[in-house]
Structure 1
Amino acid sequence: MFRISLRTPLILLASLFFLTTPLHADVSVFKPFTASYELDWDGPISVSGDTIRQLKKSSDDSWTFESKANSMFASIFEKSHFQWNNKALSPIHYTFKRSVFGKKRNAEISFDWENNRVTNEVDDKPWQMDVTPGVQDKISYQMLLQQELAKGETSFTYQVADGGILKEYKFQVDGQEVIEAPIGIYKTIRVKRVREANSPRQTYIWFAPELNYQIIKLKQIEKKDKAYTLLLKELNSN
Structure 2
Amino acid sequence: MRKTITHLCTATLATAIIFSPAIYAADSGAIQAFQATYSVVSEGSVSLKGESTRSLSQNEQQQWLLQSQASALFASIKESSRFSLDQNRITPLQYTYNRKVLGKTRKANLSFDWQTQTVTNDVENKPWKMEIQPGVLDKLSYQLQLQTDVAAGKKEFTYAVADGGRLKTYSFAVTGEETIETPAGNFKSIRVERIYKDNKDRQTLIWFAPALDFQLVKLFRQEKKDKTYSLLLKKTDS
Q: Same fold (TM over 0.5)?
A: yes
2:233, 2:30 → 1: CA distance?
A: 17
Q: Does the Cα contact within 8 Å between 2:30 and 2:88 map onto a contact in 1? A: no
Question: Given the superposition, is the C-alpha separation of residues 200 and 37 from structure 1 closer, same or farther in structure 2, using an over 3 Å criterion?
Answer: same
Partner of 1:44: 45
Letter in 2 for 1:233: K
Partner of 1:30: 31
1:27, 1:154 → 2: CA distance?
A: 21
Partner of 1:196: 197
Question: RMSD in angstroms over aligned alpha carbons?
Answer: 1.3
Q: Find out whether 1:101 has 2:109 as its counterpart.
A: no
1:134 positional shift: 0.4
Greater displacement, 61-70 / 82-91:
82-91
Pairing of 1:1-238 with structure 2 (within 5 A): 28=29, 30-237=31-238
1:155, 1:103 → 2: CA distance?
A: 38
- Percentage of pairs with the same residue: 47
Q: Does the Cα contact within 8 Å between 2:119 and 2:129 map onto a contact in 1? A: yes
Question: Given the superposition, is the C-alpha separation of residues 74 and 234 from structure 1 closer, same or farther in structure 2, using an over 3 Å criterion?
Answer: same
Q: Any unmatched runs of 5+ in structure 1?
A: 1-24
Question: Given the superposition, is the C-alpha separation of residues 226 and 50 from structure 1 closer, same or farther in structure 2, using an over 3 Å criterion?
Answer: same
Letter in 2 for 1:156: F
Partner of 1:11: none
Q: Any unmatched runs of 5+ in structure 2?
A: 1-25
Report the TM-score, using the length of structure 1 for normalisation.
Answer: 0.86
Report the TM-score, using the length of structure 2 for normalisation.
Answer: 0.86
2:74, 2:215 → 1: CA distance?
A: 27
Q: Does the Cα contact within 8 Å between 1:26 and 1:150 map onto a contact in 2? A: no
Q: How many residues end up aligned between the 2 structures?
A: 213
**More helix as a share of residues:** 2
Greater Rg by CA: 1
1:41, 1:27 → 2: CA distance?
A: 37
